[in-house]
Amino acid sequence: MGSEAGKTIYEFSASLLDGRTLKLGEFRGRVLLIVNTASKCGLTPQYTGLESLYESYRDRGLEVLGFPCNQFGGQEPGGAEQIEAFCGKCYGVKFPMFGKIEVNGPNAHPLYRFLKKERPGLFGIGRVAWNFTKFLVDRQGVVVRRFGPATKPEELALPIARLLAR
């Protein structure tokens, strides 16, 4: 499923943890891995694998973008400062982390509404099921794949390398 009417990820913007707004157009020409994250989830150790992917592939054109979300079991209760401190201290996260958002429901961030429309997921339900759902975006800003929360970041190395080689 390609982008409708030429829409790409680059039309969106979001606030970073420090409150600055970042236009995703700044990532034009890069491969993106967009992930909704949480600090108090059984899957939180995936931060290690996400940071490893970022460190391994960023010089070739990968950006990992983390979007904290508290919609699943209240597993991201902290504010921006707590999230930033936790990610840095516990997992050494250096990839961009954005302000807390909602990924489902009427207050879902427009970026996530777009991601879910492009890649609706299992049975086409169009919802993010849990923390650490991953969306892979090619260098043209097209959402090419979606991976469920149980997919470990290490399992994304090959799909990422293939997109980077294009």
Which residues are known to be catalytic? 41
Could you give the domains of the chain?
4-165 (3.40.30.10)
| Per-residue model confidence as pLDDT tens digits over 106-139 | 999 999 999 999 998 877 778 899 999 999 999 9
Residue 6 pLDDT: 55
Give this prediction's pTM. 0.94
- On the question of pLDDT at 1 being above 70, the answer is no
Residue 4 pLDDT: 47
Residue 121 pLDDT: 80
Residue 4: partners with Cβ closer than 8 Å, 6 or more residues away: 117
Phi, psi of 106 (to 5 degrees): -65, -20
| Per-residue model confidence as pLDDT tens digits over 66-112 | 999 999 999 999 999 999 999 999 999 999 999 999 999 999 999 99
Q: Could you tell me the two tokens for 112?
A: 């996530």
Residue whose structure tokens are 């420090």 = 18
Q: Which residues pair with 146 in a beta bridge?
A: 135
Task: Say if CB 96 and CB 4 are below 8 A apart.
Answer: no
Residue 116's alpha-carbon distances to 7, 13, 78, 107, 158, in angstroms, are: 13, 16, 25, 14, 23
Task: Say if CB 39 and CB 87 are below 8 A apart.
Answer: yes
